[in-house]
Amino acid sequence: MPGVLFFAFFAVVPMVLAFYLSFTSWDGLGDPQPVGLDNWRKLVNDDRMVQSLWLTVLLTAASWVFQTVIALLLGVWAAGRQRNRAVLSAIFFVPFLLSSTAIALLFYALLDPNFGIIQENILGSSSGAFLAIVFVGGWQFIPFHTLIYQGGARQIPEVLYQAAAIDGAGRYRQFFSITLPQLRHTVTTSTVLLVVGSLTYFETVLILTKGGPGTDTAILPYLMYEAGFKSYDFGYASAIASFLVVAATGLSLILVRLTGFGSMRSTREGM
């Protein structure tokens, strides 16, 4: 019951209020005034919305490729029982303990063209700023997804590898024929978390690039921030927030449906 109350108070109630505000005009003062579907029509016809949606999709895809490949390989490696792997894994997980704001401030200082470690204005170019966001996000969240893959890899029965070794299968053959198929539901779990996380990416963009240069890294959460806290158009910001909730939920359901995650036979699959 406490968990249900916590979820209802901190998740359901804010979502319901945001959905209600999406049908109103409110600048933060006075009472919200009903405007019907005006904010949703603005959402559909807003050119910046189209650009931000494309950037969000691009960021999600790039983050998935970058984080999944590295986290999968590290997770399988860290699943070994050797003591040195346990020590290195513990050190590697440290970035996950830091807040997104602290990590963004750290890399903002490191990438400063005057006082940072790289004497180039990486954040001043469109591609450089975008890749910096992808890298910083990966630096923070790859340890988390590595932990998921490590747990999944340890669930694979050792007898499968022993049988494959008797048949003469090498490490690469064992990885592609045993490890990867056995981790298919773990990949789905990691992907759903990564997609939802990418759709709510905000602190890093705000601190590193502020949506720039220009609007080249203004993804949907940053567009929502600008509408709410720069233009004081909380009705339109709530419409963007409601769209993000619907998009994240829809994508998660599609992923679960297409990958067969919902029909797995054991709770040990997919972590």
At 262 the pLDDT is 63
- Across residues 84-90, what is the average pLDDT? 77
Q: What is the CA radius of gyration of the chain?
A: 22
Give per-residue pLDDT as tens, 138-197. Answer: 999 999 999 899 889 988 888 999 899 998 888 889 999 999 998 988 998 899 888 888
For the chain, what percent of residues have pLDDT higher than 90?
Answer: 42
- Arithmetic mean of pLDDT over the chain: 87
At 171 the pLDDT is 87
Cα maximum dimension of the chain: 75
At 263 the pLDDT is 62
Euclidean distance between CA atoms 271 and 268, whole angstroms? 6
Euclidean distance between CA atoms 173 and 93, whole angstroms? 29
Could you tell me where the DSSP H helices lie in the chain?
A: 2-7, 13-21, 38-45, 47-78, 83-92, 94-97, 100-110, 126-154, 158-166, 171-174, 180-182, 184-199, 203-208, 220-229, 234-259
